[in-house]
Each structure stands twice: as C-alpha cells, then as structure tokens.
Amino acid sequence: MSEIDEALRNELQRQGVWVTSMQELYNWGRKNSIWPLQFGLACCAIEMIATAASRYDIARFGGEVFRPSPRQADLMIVAGTVTKKMAPQIVRLYNQMPDPKYVISMGACAISGGPFKQGYNVLKGIDRYIPVDVYIPGCPPRPEALLHAFMELQRKIDSQKLTGASRAEHLDPAEPSEFPVPSFGEHDLEPPANRDVFHPAKIERQS
Amino acid sequence: MTPNPYLFIVIFVGVALVFPLIPLALAWLWRRFFQPPKPGAQKNAIYECGVESIGEAQIQFRSQYYLYAIIFLIFDVEAIFLVPFAVAFTGLPVGAFVAILVFLLLLIEGLVWAWGKGCLNWAR
Ligand code: SF4
C-alpha cells in the first residue's frame, strides 16, 4: 500500500518489470471508468450532450456510459438551472448513488443560480445541499470545459488515498453518504442550506 | 481417445459459474477490508427516479374490462359474421347452418348474461 520509490520504479520499468500498488491500481480503474448519471436540467445539458457525442467524445476518458439509474452511476453532472422544485429530487438522487460518488457543478446556474439568481424559484447553487468536487464556470461552459473538469476529477480520484487519516471519504466510516433532503417550506426550501456542506466564500470589500 | 462430447458443456457451465463469482468475491473482500458499507433509508429506497414512492405496490386492479370485451364480441364481431351468413343463407348445407346457430347461441347467452347483470342500463 505504501508509495513506490519513483527511481526504483523507473529502474525496474527499464528492465521490463512493471510494479504497482493496490492504491494505484484501484484509482487507475476508478478514474478511467467514471459513469455519469444521465440527467440534464437546462441549457447546459445541451453542452453535456455535445460532450458525449462524437465530436468531443467523452468516451476517450472512459465516461461515456451515461446511466439512467443512480444505482449505477459514479458521477453526477449538475448541468443547468436547479429550481427549488427540483432540488429535493437532485439531493435524493445523489443519496441513492453508491459510494464513491462525485459531483461536477456545471455552469453558472448550478454554481450560484447564474442569470436567474434573482428568481424566486431558483436555487442559488447546488453546493448548498451536496458536496461538489469540480465547479465549471461559464454560461454555458463549452464541451472542452466539461472535458477539463472531467480530467480534473480524474486527477482528484488519482490522488485519493486508500488508508490513513486523509483517505477518501467513501472509505471513512465517519463520513456521511446521505445528505438531508430539503422540503418545501412556506417561502423557501427548509432548510435553505445544509450548513455542514455549504461553506460560502467570505466576501472582502475594500473600503 | 476422443473426449466425451458433453465434456465441453461441463467446462462451459463451470466457466460460466466461476466467471461472475470472481468479481462478486473480489467485491465482497473489498467491502470486508476497505470500504465500510453505508446503507441509508434513501439509498435503499425502491424507487430510483428521485421522487418518493407513494402507497403500496401490491394493489388490486379492478378487472371490469371483460364486460366491454363480451359486449364488443356480441355487437361487433357477431355482426361481421352475420353479414356473410345472411348473404349465403339460401345455399347453406345443414351442417354450416347448425354451426352458425351454435355460434349465435353462445353469443346470445352472453347477451342474456350481460343484460341480467345490468350492464346495458345507461349509467347515470
Ligand atoms: S449556466 Fe447558462 S447555459 Fe447553463 S443552464 Fe444556466 S443559463 Fe443555461
């Protein structure tokens, strides 16, 4: 399980011997077979479809198997505007995905509400309820941007540890796998944000 | 010595059993040593479209459609058979005549039954 010395690995590789560790093998397999959940919410989903189609071809990265069931998906691409009506369903779908699971927040809408931020029925960012791994800015982000986010996610998966205190969340029994589903309140979703998950950046204003 | 031709089937069945069992065993070992199971109420929910399920799945459907089927047979299918019967009536042998009478009798029986059941009354 321990890290392999790079110099030793190169030396061995020159002699035709490949060495690997369980962690590397595990992450290599995971990062090259990320199956996204097949659902789109708004205009960004069109770009997601384009990414999956032949011109941009997400299959090159092992992510072409869009699954219509959360039970078979590893990655949730939140592609589009999340309305408050839709938010509980998204959180529920996320809860139903088996561990390990990842979330890409695609586009200005999924990050913060985007152009519809002032709307009474628009959730101001899906990261209020579920943990997001990669954010892609843009309205809409181009397919290249989604590919970039995908590669970033692969890099993240590749660096996850199998053991130790800093191991991946899904290997830690103390980390939750389900997050509370908000319910419809009188004016807003109840609660308006999950404080355990949502850590908004502090705004510093120059006087 | 030629091997028993059924030997191939035995080998095939063996491979077919072992092939799926290996990944299952590996997954079990992985769960046992590395990945803690994290079940939950929503993760184990039956319905997987994001919406909560309502009510029970074991409900009874009312099987009233058979009445429509019977009345359809009497008034539509019977008419289709009656027209050629009426056209060819004078040239029919006795056997064919009796056969069509039996057919009519069966359908009239259905009509009497449906009448007695009150299905011909206009629902208000
Ligand atoms: S970020 Fe722009 S393109 Fe994407 S869903 Fe929102 S409005 Fe549409």
B41 contact residues in A (CB cutoff 8 A): 178
Residue B40 near residue A92 (C-beta atoms within 8 A)? no
Residue B27 near residue A163 (C-beta atoms within 8 A)? no
* Mean pLDDT (whole number) for A154-183: 87
Window from A80-89, A124-133, B4-13, B54-63 with minimum mean pLDDT: B54-63
Residue A84 near residue A43 (C-beta atoms within 8 A)? no
Cis peptide before A192 (omega within 30 of 0): no
Q: How many A-B residue pairs are in contact by the CB < 8 A criterion?
A: 43
Neighbouring CB atoms inside 10 A of B98's CB total 11
d(CA A51, CA A77): 12
The helix (H) or strand (E) run that includes residue B99 is helix B94-117
Inspect the interface and report whether the beta carbons of B43 and A98 lie closer than 8 Å.
Answer: yes
Mean pLDDT of chain B: 86
Q: Which residues 42-71 of chain B have a CB within 8 Å of chain A? A: 42-43, 45, 48, 50-52
For the cut 90, the answer to whether the pLDDT of residue A145 exceeds it is yes
d(CA B55, CA B89): 58
The interface predicted TM-score of the complex, written ipTM, equals: 0.71
Say which of B43, B51, B52 has its CB closest to residue A177. Answer: B43
Cis peptide before A140 (omega within 30 of 0): yes
* Mean pLDDT (whole number) for A141-152: 94
Of A71, A107, A76, nearest in space to A90 by CA: A76
Residue A139 near residue A108 (C-beta atoms within 8 A)? yes
Q: Which of A81, A105, A112 to mutate to test the pocket of ligand 1 (most atoms within 8 A of CB)?
A: A81
pLDDT 10s digits, A11-21: 888 888 888 88
The widest CA-to-CA distance across chain A, in whole angstroms, is 69
Q: Are strands A134-136 and A102-106 parallel, antiparallel or unpaired?
A: parallel
Q: Chain B residue with minimal CA distance to A26?
A: B30
B33 contact residues in A (CB cutoff 8 A): none
Q: Which of A43, A49, A146 to mutate to test the pocket of ligand 1 (most atoms within 8 A of CB)?
A: A43
* Mean pLDDT (whole number) for A142-147: 94
Inspect the interface and report whether the beta carbons of A95 and B42 lie closer than 8 Å.
Answer: yes
B116 touches chain A (CB under 8 A): no
pLDDT 10s digits, A102-127: 999 999 999 998 899 998 999 998 99
Which DSSP category does B53 fall into?
Answer: P
pLDDT band at A53 (very low <50, low <70, confident <90, very high): very high
Which DSSP category does B122 fall into?
Answer: P
A83 contact residues in B (CB cutoff 8 A): none
d(CA A178, CA B101): 70
Question: C-alpha angle with apex A126: A115 to A142, nearest 5 degrees?
Answer: 55
Of A157, A181, A48, A39, nearest in space to A102 by CA: A157
- The finding on whether A43 has its CB within 6 A of some atom of ligand 1 is yes
pLDDT 10s digits, A25-41: 889 999 999 999 998 89
Say what the pLDDT of residue B49 is. Answer: 82
Separation of CA A48 and ligand 1 centre (Å): 11
Which residue type, as a one-letter code, is found at position A97?
A: M
Say what the pLDDT of residue A3 is. Answer: 67
A145 touches chain B (CB under 8 A): no
Residue B10 near residue A52 (C-beta atoms within 8 A)? no
d(CA B66, CA B76): 15
